[in-house]
Protein backbone atom coordinates (compact mmCIF):
# COMPACT_ATOMS: atom_id res chain seq x y z
CA UNK A 1 0.00 0.00 0.00
CA UNK A 2 1.34 3.38 -0.95
CA UNK A 3 0.23 6.91 -0.15
CA UNK A 4 3.22 8.57 -1.81
CA UNK A 5 3.27 10.24 -5.23
CA UNK A 6 1.64 8.21 -7.97
CA UNK A 7 2.09 9.34 -11.59
CA UNK A 8 -0.81 9.57 -14.04
CA UNK A 9 -0.90 6.47 -16.24
CA UNK A 10 0.79 6.83 -19.65
CA UNK A 11 -1.45 6.47 -22.71
CA UNK A 12 0.70 3.53 -23.85
CA UNK A 13 -0.63 1.52 -20.89
CA UNK A 14 -3.83 0.98 -22.85
CA UNK A 15 -2.11 -0.70 -25.80
CA UNK A 16 -3.03 -4.38 -25.62
CA UNK A 17 -4.75 -3.85 -22.26
CA UNK A 18 -7.95 -5.28 -20.82
CA UNK A 19 -9.63 -2.23 -19.33
CA UNK A 20 -11.88 -2.32 -16.28
CA UNK A 21 -13.74 0.87 -15.37
CA UNK A 22 -15.59 1.73 -12.19
CA UNK A 23 -18.65 3.98 -12.72
CA UNK A 24 -19.53 6.49 -9.94
CA UNK A 25 -16.61 8.83 -9.21
CA UNK A 26 -14.68 7.49 -12.20
CA UNK A 27 -16.85 7.93 -15.31
CA UNK A 28 -19.45 10.24 -13.73
CA UNK A 29 -19.05 12.89 -11.03
CA UNK A 30 -20.53 12.09 -7.62
CA UNK A 31 -23.88 13.71 -6.83
CA UNK A 32 -25.98 14.22 -3.68
CA UNK A 33 -28.08 11.10 -4.27
CA UNK A 34 -27.63 7.92 -6.36
CA UNK A 35 -30.12 8.98 -9.03
CA UNK A 36 -28.99 12.62 -9.25
CA UNK A 37 -25.90 11.85 -11.34
CA UNK A 38 -25.37 13.52 -14.70
CA UNK A 39 -24.12 11.13 -17.35
CA UNK A 40 -22.22 12.98 -20.09
CA UNK A 41 -23.78 12.46 -23.53
CA UNK A 42 -20.32 11.55 -24.77
CA UNK A 43 -19.96 8.58 -22.39
CA UNK A 44 -21.89 5.95 -24.39
CA UNK A 45 -20.11 6.70 -27.70
CA UNK A 46 -16.75 6.86 -25.91
CA UNK A 47 -17.23 3.43 -24.33
CA UNK A 48 -18.34 1.99 -27.68
CA UNK A 49 -15.21 3.33 -29.40
CA UNK A 50 -12.97 2.14 -26.56
CA UNK A 51 -14.43 -1.34 -26.79
CA UNK A 52 -13.68 -1.40 -30.52
CA UNK A 53 -10.09 -0.19 -30.06
CA UNK A 54 -9.52 -2.80 -27.35
CA UNK A 55 -11.09 -5.61 -29.40
CA UNK A 56 -13.83 -6.04 -26.79
CA UNK A 57 -11.50 -6.16 -23.75
CA UNK A 58 -13.53 -3.59 -21.82
CA UNK A 59 -15.74 -4.12 -18.75
CA UNK A 60 -17.61 -1.82 -16.36
CA UNK A 61 -17.24 -3.00 -12.76
CA UNK A 62 -19.58 -1.15 -10.42
CA UNK A 63 -21.06 -1.27 -6.96
CA UNK A 64 -24.43 -0.56 -8.56
CA UNK A 65 -26.55 -3.46 -9.70
CA UNK A 66 -26.24 -4.19 -13.42
CA UNK A 67 -29.92 -3.39 -14.06
CA UNK A 68 -29.33 0.05 -12.47
CA UNK A 69 -26.12 0.60 -14.45
CA UNK A 70 -27.92 -0.26 -17.69
CA UNK A 71 -30.25 2.71 -17.15
CA UNK A 72 -27.24 5.00 -17.56
CA UNK A 73 -25.01 3.06 -19.97
CA UNK A 74 -26.85 1.51 -22.88
CA UNK A 75 -24.03 -0.71 -24.16
CA UNK A 76 -25.11 -4.33 -24.43
CA UNK A 77 -21.82 -5.07 -26.19
CA UNK A 78 -19.79 -4.20 -23.08
CA UNK A 79 -19.12 -6.71 -20.31
CA UNK A 80 -20.41 -5.63 -16.89
CA UNK A 81 -20.06 -6.62 -13.27
CA UNK A 82 -22.42 -5.17 -10.69
CA UNK A 83 -23.00 -5.24 -6.93
CA UNK A 84 -19.26 -5.12 -6.17
CA UNK A 85 -18.47 -8.31 -8.11
CA UNK A 86 -21.53 -10.39 -7.19
CA UNK A 87 -23.20 -9.96 -10.60
CA UNK A 88 -21.52 -10.71 -13.94
CA UNK A 89 -22.76 -10.13 -17.46
CA UNK A 90 -20.80 -11.10 -20.57
CA UNK A 91 -21.30 -8.90 -23.68
CA UNK A 92 -24.85 -9.48 -24.92
CA UNK A 93 -25.40 -12.11 -22.23
CA UNK A 94 -27.65 -12.63 -19.22
CA UNK A 95 -26.88 -11.39 -15.71
CA UNK A 96 -25.43 -14.18 -13.55
CA UNK A 97 -25.83 -13.64 -9.79
CA UNK A 98 -26.09 -15.70 -6.59
CA UNK A 99 -29.52 -16.16 -4.96
CA UNK A 100 -30.64 -13.48 -2.50
CA UNK A 101 -30.50 -14.59 1.14
CA UNK A 102 -34.02 -14.57 2.73
CA UNK A 103 -32.60 -12.62 5.71
CA UNK A 104 -32.24 -9.60 3.41
CA UNK A 105 -36.02 -9.00 3.52
CA UNK A 106 -36.05 -8.37 7.29
CA UNK A 107 -32.85 -6.34 7.02
CA UNK A 108 -34.42 -4.05 4.39
CA UNK A 109 -37.47 -3.51 6.61
CA UNK A 110 -35.28 -2.59 9.61
CA UNK A 111 -33.20 -0.23 7.47
CA UNK A 112 -36.26 1.50 6.03
CA UNK A 113 -37.65 1.99 9.54
CA UNK A 114 -34.33 3.51 10.66
CA UNK A 115 -34.23 5.92 7.68
CA UNK A 116 -37.87 6.95 8.10
CA UNK A 117 -37.00 8.83 11.30
CA UNK A 118 -33.46 9.93 10.40
CA UNK A 119 -33.47 13.22 8.52
CA UNK A 120 -31.32 13.31 5.40
CA UNK A 121 -30.66 9.56 5.35
CA UNK A 122 -31.54 7.92 2.03
CA UNK A 123 -32.25 4.23 1.45
CA UNK A 124 -31.06 2.76 -1.85
CA UNK A 125 -32.69 -0.56 -2.68
CA UNK A 126 -30.20 -2.48 -4.77
CA UNK A 127 -30.49 -5.69 -6.79
CA UNK A 128 -28.25 -7.56 -4.33
CA UNK A 129 -28.58 -5.53 -1.16
CA UNK A 130 -29.55 -2.29 0.47
CA UNK A 131 -27.59 0.89 1.16
CA UNK A 132 -27.93 3.82 3.54
CA UNK A 133 -26.57 7.11 2.19
CA UNK A 134 -25.61 9.88 4.64
CA UNK A 135 -24.10 12.43 2.17
CA UNK A 136 -26.91 14.85 3.13
CA UNK A 137 -26.48 14.16 6.86
CA UNK A 138 -22.72 13.59 7.40
CA UNK A 139 -23.06 13.94 11.18
CA UNK A 140 -25.02 10.68 11.14
CA UNK A 141 -22.03 8.63 9.90
CA UNK A 142 -21.23 6.93 13.21
CA UNK A 143 -24.91 6.15 13.91
CA UNK A 144 -25.43 4.70 10.46
CA UNK A 145 -22.29 2.55 10.65
CA UNK A 146 -23.09 1.14 14.05
CA UNK A 147 -26.74 0.48 13.10
CA UNK A 148 -25.75 -1.26 9.84
CA UNK A 149 -23.12 -3.40 11.63
CA UNK A 150 -25.81 -4.56 14.06
CA UNK A 151 -28.28 -5.45 11.28
CA UNK A 152 -25.54 -7.23 9.28
CA UNK A 153 -24.53 -9.35 12.26
CA UNK A 154 -28.11 -10.40 12.94
CA UNK A 155 -28.85 -11.17 9.28
CA UNK A 156 -25.49 -12.78 8.41
CA UNK A 157 -24.85 -10.20 5.69
CA UNK A 158 -21.64 -8.45 4.64
CA UNK A 159 -21.05 -4.73 5.29
CA UNK A 160 -19.65 -2.76 2.37
CA UNK A 161 -18.48 0.78 3.06
CA UNK A 162 -18.44 3.37 0.30
CA UNK A 163 -18.28 7.12 -0.08
CA UNK A 164 -20.83 8.57 2.37
CA UNK A 165 -22.75 5.30 2.33
CA UNK A 166 -22.83 1.85 3.88
CA UNK A 167 -24.39 -1.15 2.26
CA UNK A 168 -25.47 -4.64 3.33
CA UNK A 169 -25.13 -7.42 0.79
CA UNK A 170 -24.55 -11.18 0.68
CA UNK A 171 -21.04 -12.42 1.46
CA UNK A 172 -19.15 -13.58 -1.61
CA UNK A 173 -17.38 -11.91 -4.47
CA UNK A 174 -15.63 -8.55 -4.53
CA UNK A 175 -14.43 -6.46 -7.47
CA UNK A 176 -11.13 -8.40 -7.51
CA UNK A 177 -13.11 -11.59 -8.16
CA UNK A 178 -14.88 -9.84 -11.06
CA UNK A 179 -11.52 -8.93 -12.63
CA UNK A 180 -10.24 -12.50 -12.18
CA UNK A 181 -13.46 -13.93 -13.67
CA UNK A 182 -13.32 -11.72 -16.79
CA UNK A 183 -9.61 -12.48 -17.20
CA UNK A 184 -10.42 -16.19 -17.68
CA UNK A 185 -12.48 -15.29 -20.79
CA UNK A 186 -10.62 -16.08 -24.05
CA UNK A 187 -10.86 -12.45 -25.22
CA UNK A 188 -9.30 -11.04 -22.05
CA UNK A 189 -6.97 -13.89 -21.12
CA UNK A 190 -3.54 -12.81 -22.38
CA UNK A 191 -4.05 -9.06 -21.95
CA UNK A 192 -2.70 -6.76 -19.23
CA UNK A 193 -5.55 -5.82 -16.83
CA UNK A 194 -5.86 -2.14 -15.94
CA UNK A 195 -8.50 -1.13 -13.38
CA UNK A 196 -9.55 2.50 -12.90
CA UNK A 197 -11.58 3.37 -9.80
CA UNK A 198 -12.02 5.81 -6.93
CA UNK A 199 -13.67 4.03 -4.01
CA UNK A 200 -12.62 1.61 -1.26
CA UNK A 201 -14.39 -1.24 -3.04
CA UNK A 202 -11.97 -0.74 -5.97
CA UNK A 203 -8.90 -1.62 -3.90
CA UNK A 204 -9.53 -5.39 -4.25
CA UNK A 205 -9.59 -4.89 -8.02
CA UNK A 206 -6.31 -2.90 -7.97
CA UNK A 207 -4.69 -5.84 -6.16
CA UNK A 208 -6.16 -8.40 -8.59
CA UNK A 209 -5.04 -6.39 -11.64
CA UNK A 210 -1.49 -6.04 -10.29
CA UNK A 211 -1.28 -9.78 -9.51
CA UNK A 212 -2.21 -10.49 -13.14
CA UNK A 213 0.56 -8.30 -14.56
CA UNK A 214 -1.25 -4.96 -14.79
CA UNK A 215 -2.36 -2.56 -12.08
CA UNK A 216 -4.81 -0.03 -10.77
CA UNK A 217 -5.27 3.69 -11.29
CA UNK A 218 -6.82 5.60 -8.42
CA UNK A 219 -9.18 8.48 -9.23
CA UNK A 220 -9.13 11.39 -6.77
CA UNK A 221 -6.89 12.69 -3.98
CA UNK A 222 -3.91 10.61 -2.78
CA UNK A 223 -4.65 8.01 -0.06
CA UNK A 224 -3.33 4.66 1.12
CA UNK A 225 -3.91 2.52 -1.96
CA UNK A 226 -2.76 -0.52 -3.90
CA UNK A 227 -2.99 1.53 -7.13
CA UNK A 228 0.13 2.25 -9.17
CA UNK A 229 -1.12 5.38 -10.94
CA UNK A 230 -3.47 8.25 -10.09
CA UNK A 231 -5.85 10.60 -11.89
CA UNK A 232 -6.94 13.90 -10.31
CA UNK A 233 -10.61 13.25 -11.10
CA UNK A 234 -13.33 12.20 -13.53
CA UNK A 235 -12.32 14.80 -16.15
CA UNK A 236 -8.75 13.48 -16.26
CA UNK A 237 -10.02 9.91 -16.80
CA UNK A 238 -12.27 11.09 -19.66
CA UNK A 239 -9.36 12.98 -21.24
CA UNK A 240 -7.10 9.90 -21.05
CA UNK A 241 -9.71 7.59 -22.60
CA UNK A 242 -10.59 10.13 -25.32
CA UNK A 243 -6.90 10.70 -26.19
CA UNK A 244 -6.47 6.93 -26.60
CA UNK A 245 -9.51 6.65 -28.87
CA UNK A 246 -8.34 9.62 -30.98
CA UNK A 247 -4.74 8.42 -31.18
CA UNK A 248 -5.73 4.94 -32.32
CA UNK A 249 -8.35 6.16 -34.89
Ligand X SMILES: O=P(O)(O)OC[C@H]1O[C@H](O[C@H]2O[C@H](CO)[C@@H](O)[C@H](O)[C@H]2O)[C@H](O)[C@@H](O)[C@@H]1O
Residue 84 half-sphere exposure toward CB, CA atoms < 13 A: 25
Nearest position to ligand X, beta carbon: 63
64 binds ligand X (CB under 6 A): yes
- The answer to whether 44 touches 75, Cβ cutoff 8 Å, is yes
* 141 near ligand X, judged by CB under 6 A: no
Q: By CB under 6 A, which span of 23-31, 145-153, 208-216, 225-233 interacts with ligand X?
A: 23-31
Q: How many residues bind ligand X (CB under 6 A)?
A: 24
Cβ neighbours for 137, distance < 8 A, ≥ 6 positions apart:
118, 119, 120, 121
Helix axis angle, 234-247 to 43-53, nearest 10°: 50
Dist CA 141 CA 181 (whole Å)? 34
Minimum CB distance to ligand X, residue 215 (Å):
18
Of 165, 173, 212, 237, the residue at the interface with ligand X (CB under 6 A) is 165
What is the distance between the alpha carbons of residues 249 and 230, in angstroms, rounded to a whole number?
Answer: 25
Q: Is 113 a catalytic residue?
A: no
CB of residue 69 to ligand X, shortest distance in Å: 8
Q: Single out the residue of 163, 187, 192, 223 in contact with ligand X (rule: CB under 6 A).
A: 163
Q: Binders of ligand X among 94-133, rule CB under 6 A? A: 124, 126, 131, 133
Query: Rounded to an integer, what distance in angstroms lies between the CA atom of residue 5 and that of residue 7?
Result: 7
Phi, psi for 212 (deg, rounded to 5): -100, 20
- Answer for which of 9, 63, 176, 215 binds ligand X (CB under 6 A) is 63
Residue numbers at the binding site for ligand X (CB under 6 A) = 22-25, 30-34, 37, 62-64, 124, 126, 131, 133, 135, 162-165, 199, 201
Active site members: 22
Amino acid sequence: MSSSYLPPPPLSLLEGAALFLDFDGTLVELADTPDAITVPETLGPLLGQLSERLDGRLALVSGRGISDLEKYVNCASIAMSGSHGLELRAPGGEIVAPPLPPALIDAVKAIQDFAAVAEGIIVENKSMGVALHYRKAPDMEANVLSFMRGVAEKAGLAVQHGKMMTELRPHGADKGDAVRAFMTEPKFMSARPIFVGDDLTDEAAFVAAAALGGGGALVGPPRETAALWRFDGVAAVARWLTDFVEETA
